[in-house]
Chain A
């Protein structure tokens, strides 16, 4: 599986957009980009995933660069409850493959 690189920590003001970057320069053609988050030792929570196109759901938007070597997770209006560790993971499609969690980015939303 391709590895990902994320900054260890970021701060964001409440109500502002949080933009979390991820580098995955060795991603393969059939690998999806997934984003999960973990709030204080709770179970990881699925946020969004994408292959090539940008994606949006009720939680976030995912922007994937054209060469697919990096992506950005956008939380449009961060709240205090969005404070969590955010994980960017790449994994092949079409198979029940394990998710390999890295250290993620600790996002702290400040009041």
Chain B
């Protein structure tokens, strides 16, 4: 069964450093997402991406964040200058819509645990 994969599973970085989290969405999916979950808190939406541009983003997704689909398979989230409060689990998701009236089930990866020291 196809699945979303994410690397690395755990990333430790120093405050102020740049990190890139990587995701390989399900191969025929066209819509990609990043969510995060701070320990003990709700899953929060960050950004959605379609046709090589951002579709929607939350207030969390400020100028320190960027997303990219550098090739036909990877989808990345970059945090330019990490802060302590960026420590969280980051989940990538993907979905496929084929007609306007259908549902949009999103399939999530296992997550990357980011620890900022």
Interface on A for B, CB 8 Å cutoff?
Answer: 32, 34, 38, 41-46, 49-51, 87, 91, 93-103
Contact = CB atoms under 8 A, between A and B. Distances in A.
A27 to B, nearest CB: 14
3 closest cross-chain pairs (CB), A and B: A43-B108, A94-B100, A98-B45
A91 B104 CA distance: 8
A96 B43 contact: no
A74 B95 CA distance: 24
Interface residues of B, number: 32
Interface of B: 4, 31, 33, 35, 37, 42-45, 48, 50, 55-56, 58, 89, 91, 93, 95, 97, 99-111
A91 B56 CA distance: 14
A92 to B, nearest CB: 8
Contacts, number: 73
Given A41-B37, A45-B108, A96 B31 contact: yes
A63 to B, nearest CB: 17
16 contacts: A32-B104, A42-B110, A43-B108, A50-B103, A91-B104, A93-B103, A94-B100, A96-B55, A96-B95, A96-B97, A97-B56, A98-B45, A98-B48, A98-B56, A101-B44, A102-B42
A74 B58 CA distance: 32
Given A96-B50, A99-B45, A49 B56 contact: no
Contacts of B48: 96-98
Contacts of A46: 105-108
A43 B91 contact: yes
